[in-house]
Structure 1
C-alpha cells in the first residue's frame, strides 16, 4: 500500500491565496489591457504594448518570493514603451500598483527597498520623459509606488500584531488553566491530608474499640455482639472507601482497584440489617449491565437512601426497588418516617442524591406519601433502549 499523504494545515490557507493571486493578476490584465486597446494607437505598437502588459501582469500570480523580480519587470515596461514607441499609449498602471503592494507586504529588508526603488525610479523616469517637472514626477512616484508599498507593509504588520495577540491570549488561557489545575490539585491534597489525619484516624479508632468491646464480652448479649460486629464491618468498609477516595484525590488509581457498584448491594444491605433494621431489595424487569460510572452512581444513591432510612426512619425497615425498563432504570426506596427533627440532614442527603443523578440526566422525586408516614425517594435514569 502506498504511504498516506500527510495533511498540512497550511494547505487550506495556501490554496485560497493562490486563487486570489490569480484573480488579482487576471483583473490587472483585463484593466491594463483594456486601457491599451482604448488608446487606439496603430495596431503594431498596440500589439507590442499589449503583449508586454499582459506578460508582466500575469507574473502577479506568481509566488511571493518572486515579488522583487515582478516589481522589476513591472517597472521596466513603462520606460521601455516610452523609449521605443513614444508617448500616447498606456501600459501597466494597475500592475505597478499591485507590484508595489506585493513588495511592501511580502518582502523584507533589502529586497523590499530595492523593489520600492525600482518602481519609484520607473515612475519618475516616465514622468520626466513625458516632460513633467521633477516635483510632479516625485508626487506620481509617491502615489503610484510608495503608497501601495506602505499599505502592504501596514497590512502585514497588522496581521502579525493580531497573530501575536492571539498567541498571547492562547498562552494566557493556558496559564490560567494551569493555575486552576494547580489550585485544584493543592486543594485536593489539603482535603486528602485532612481525611487521612482526622477522619481515617477516628474511623480506625471506632473499629478498634468495637473489636475490643466485642472480644471483651464473649458471653454477653448476642444482639450487642452482632451490633459490635456490624460496627467493625462498617468501619472497615468505610476505611476502604476512604482510602480509595484518598487515591482519587491524589490522582492515583491503583491497578485492580474499583469503586463498589450494584454487585455489592448485598454487602450494603447486610450492613443495614446488622444494625437491626430490616432491609429488603426488589428487582423488577430484565436486569442489564450499566456503564461503570452509572453503576457506581446508582450504588452511592442507594447507599445514601439507606443512610437516610437508618437516621430518620423507624425500626420497621426500608425497601429498595430497582425497576429495569427498556429505556430507563428507576431506583426507589421507601420507609416509615421517624418522629425526630431530621430536616437539615435529610436536605443534605437529598441534595447529594439529586446532584449525582443530575450528572446522568436523572430525575429525582422525594417526599411523604399521602398517608403522611411513608417517605419515598425515587430516581429515574434514562438508558439506551435495549
Structure 2
C-alpha cells in the first residue's frame, strides 16, 4: 500500500504530468490550419469533416516533429521534467528509418495531453463540486450530458475517489511518457553505434595527445635540465659552451611550448592552429640538442630515410626521441649509438646506451624518476603501426631499444 503511494509523493510525477498536459495547448495553434480546409467542403456530413480535420491536425503535428530543432527541444524538456537521462541528439539529419520517431512521440504526447488533461479536469471538478450538495442531502454533477449523483455522506466519498483518480491519472500519464522517452527520444541503434564510434575516436585522440605530451614535454624537461646543469658547470671555464647550452634550452622550450599550445587547444575544443609536426627531417636538430646537453651521440644513418613521410616519419621521430631521452636520463655515460636504416620493406630504429648506477652528468639528470609510461607507450605506438618492438639488456653493460616498422618507399 505504501509502495503504491510513493509515486504520489514524487515531484517528478507532477512535473511529468505537467509536461504531458502541455502537449494539448501546444497543439492548438495548428488546429485552425486543420479546420480551414474542411470548411470549404460544405456538402460533406459533419462527421466526415470532423474526421478529416482530425487527420489533418495529426498530419500537421507530425510535420512539426520532422523539424530538426523539435527533437532537441523535446529532449531538453524530457530531461528536466520527466527526469529521464537522455543524451543530446546527434548533429545532422537522422537516418531515414529513425525520422518517424519524433513525429510519433509528438502524436502520443498530444494524445495523452488531451486525454489526461480532460479526464483530470473532469475528476477535479467532480471532487470539488460533489461535497457542496452534502448539506442539501444530495449532490449532482453533469458533464457533457453525463449525470452523477451522491446522497448524504457518500458525496464526500465520491469526491475523494475523484481526487484520487485525478492523482492516479498524473502518475499514469507521466509514467507512460517516461517509458516512451528512451525509445522515441533516445538514440536509436544506428545513433548508438555512431556515438560509440565518436567516443572511441575521442579516446584515441586523447591517447595520442597523451603520447605527444609525454614524448615532447618529457624529452624537453630532461634535456633542458641537463643542459642547465652543464651550463652551470662550464660557465666560468668555457663561456661559449655555456652560451650554446642556454640557446639550446631556449630552442627546446620554444618547440615544447608549440606542442603544449596545440594540445591545450584540442582539449579545450577550440580552433587551434596546425599541429606542430616533428619528422625524421628534424632528427639532426634533436641530436644537436642532445650534444649541447653533454651527450655523445654516434648516429648511423643509412638508406633513403629522408624519403620516409607522413605518419610513419612522425612516429619514427617520436620513437627515437623517447629512446634518446631514456638513454640520456637513465644511461651511465659513454656514447649513445643511434641507428636508422631505411630499406625497401622496412624502417629499422635502434638506440643503445650504457647502463650503470648513475648518469655521469650530475644530479640534474637524476632529477627525473621514471614514470613507467615511456616504454609501454612506445610499444603501443609500434603495435598500431604493425611493427616489431624490443627493449631490454644488450649484454652486461648496455641497454638496447630496437624497433622495426613496415614501410614501402617511393620508387
TM-score, structure 1 normalization: 0.44
- Between Structure 1 and Structure 2, whose CA radius of gyration is higher? 1
User: Greater relative contact order: 1 or 2 (C-alpha under 8 angstroms, separation 6 or more)?
Assistant: 2
